[in-house]
Amino acid sequence: MLHSLAAFVFVLGVLIFVHELGHFVVARRLGVRVVTFCLGMGPKLVKWRRGETEYAIAALPIGGYVKMAGENPDDPQTGARDEFLSRPKWDRLRILLAGPLMNVLLAVALTTIVVAQGAQVPIFESDPVDVAVVTKGSPAERGGILPGDRIVRVGSQKTPTWERFYLAIGGRAERDVRVVLLREGRELTVTVRPEARTKMQVGDIGVLPKVHPGIRSVVAGGPADRAGIKAGDVVLALNGEPIIFSGQLSAEIRKHPEEAITLTLERDGAPLDVRVIPRRQGQIGLIGIGIQDPYRTIKPGPLGSLTLSLKRNVEYSGLIFRTIGGLLTRETSANQLMGPVAIAQMSGDYAAAGWIALFTFMASLSLNLGLLNLLPIPVLDGGHIFIMALEGVARRDFSMKVKERLMLAGFLVLMALMVVVVYNDLARLSLFDRFSAGN
């Protein structure tokens, strides 16, 4: 618990600091006086003054703010050039954009660092979505998808690769979606309803690519060794059921302690059936093998890392905007939205997995924070920009009363969103599940 809390404070603290630093630096550069630079919300725990600015750290690590002189219409206005509302709209626009832009740049920088370390990616990730296996009883089977079909579109999104397919289907849990297939040269459209997987409610329809795990090592004297299994063998099936991923193979072997199973292997390009009896260890079965999924390793240079980072962040930006659109059209379930509790849990999990996993998570959050702040919702940076744009079209500044109403509307939208994400966070906790079930 403390580990997750510490990771959460670190992750959110960095993202908020970078965001507010963008506003602060550009405001100062344009000659706007910054009254307060605060990390956190609520009572100030620590504060100090340097020049005209008070710097502070507040009790709740869930936000932050940069308070500029003359920032709000109800602030004392002298018309001095160091007041925010006295500056031209172009200057105010640059100050407002600086925070979200810094978050986007942080996402690019963190992803570049992660990619530069080298990564193992599934070999099928960039392949066309050719269905090799349809899981029994899955949404895909009920929808009429068959092995050999190629999925080319999910809803309005093209899916040229498995990576794009997983991103497209993952956001549509418990929502009917039209899937366009190619079957024997003909285009077909079917409707499926992806099932929600994991606590994050990720959509899945039960289609798998044509890949199989390999035997990396064999324990000398173990059941696999005695059965004649060798390192380098590829596992095609277990008891006649296709095996696609290493986790699937491990799970199936564990179900059969001291029970004979038949592994269908590929060795030197030819199939081979091997009968093996897993030894019992506690309640599970083991046969003494090391297994791995087929991966390719990428380790680009500095320029290649930056290029790949930009490509990924552009793709993820598109996914974020499509998710927002899906929420508005009800194609995407609101259950996928995360709040502070879920972010804290995930921060702890990623921190435990190492700094590369943590940086990857931070990059994703930073990109989300930057782009969502540009939404035209009053209170957010994008809301202020939207109001300025409306004033520009109207060629006049709105009255204080109009701006107050717009800000109130934005506040209510954010509060409604907060209720949804907090409910989602609680619903992911087993304690809340038991409470809502009446136990």
Closest by alpha carbon to 372, among 323, 432, 431, 424? 323
Residue 163 CA to residue 127 CA, distance in Å, equals 8
Q: What angle do CA 164, 165, 168 make, to 5 degrees?
A: 85
- The torsion angle over the Cα atoms of residues 293, 294, 300 and 306, rounded to 10 degrees, is -60
Instruction: Indicate the angle between helix axes 340-353 and 2-29, nearest 10 degrees.
Output: 100
Q: Which amino acid is at 58?
A: A
Structure tokens at 17: 């600091």
* Three-state secondary structure call for residue 60: strand
Residue 127 CA to residue 154 CA, distance in Å, equals 16
| Terminal-to-terminal C-alpha distance of the chain | 25
How many C-alpha atoms does 437 have within 13 Å on its Cβ side? 8
Catalytic residue among 20, 71, 83, 252: 20
Cβ distance 41 to 92 under 8 Å?
no
Residue 331 CA to residue 327 CA, distance in Å, equals 6
User: Which residues lie closer than 8 Å to 323 by C-beta, 6 or more apart?
Assistant: 171, 332, 336
* Three-state secondary structure call for residue 213: coil
Residue 263 CA to residue 228 CA, distance in Å, equals 11
Residue 239 CA to residue 190 CA, distance in Å, equals 31
Instruction: Indicate the angle between helix axes 355-372 and 340-353, nearest 10 degrees.
Output: 150
User: How is residue 280 annotated by DSSP?
Assistant: E
The residue behind tokens 């580990």 is 3
Dihedral (CA of 337, 339, 341, 345) sign: positive
Cβ distance 342 to 185 under 8 Å?
no
Establish whether 20 is a catalytic residue: yes
Residues designated as active site: 20
